[in-house]
Every structure is written in structure tokens, then in C-alpha cells.
Amino acid sequence: MYLCFSLARVFDHLGDYERSLEYLIEANNVYRVNHVYDPSNDRAFAEKLKKYFENRQY
């Protein structure tokens, strides 16, 4: 996955946008297979942030 993202960046910098896009699509496909998004993790993190900052004096 990281190699595909890196190659996408290299080809983007070289101006080969079509090849860059191919590697970017492949990298994102690999990422999606290995990482399942769970919105409850984001909600829990947001709640922790709110509690941390709610009583702060600036």
C-alpha cells in the first residue's frame, strides 16, 4: 500500500498523471481491504476532546 502511494506521488511529480492515478487507485483499494472504518471511534475521540477543552481557561 505505501509503495503504491509513493509511486503515485513520484509519477504525479513526473507529470505522468494517468500512471499516478493507477497507483493511487490500487493503494486505496488495498487500504480499504485492510482498514474498516468505524464511526464510533471518531465519536469517542470527539467526546474526549470536548471533555478536555470544556473547562480550560485561556
Alpha-carbon distance of 32 to 17, in angstroms, equals 22
Alpha-carbon distance of 44 to 56, in angstroms, equals 20
Say yes or no to pLDDT of 57 above 80: no
Q: Rounded to an integer, what is the distance from CA 8 to the centroid of its chain?
A: 14
pLDDT in tens, 10-51: 999 999 999 999 999 999 999 999 888 899 999 999 999 999
| 19 contacts 11 by C-beta, under 8 angstroms | yes
| 4 contacts 23 by C-beta, under 8 angstroms | yes
Instruction: Name the residue ranges covered by the structural domains of the chain.
Output: 2-53
Residue 6 identity (one-letter amino acid): S
pTM of the model: 0.63
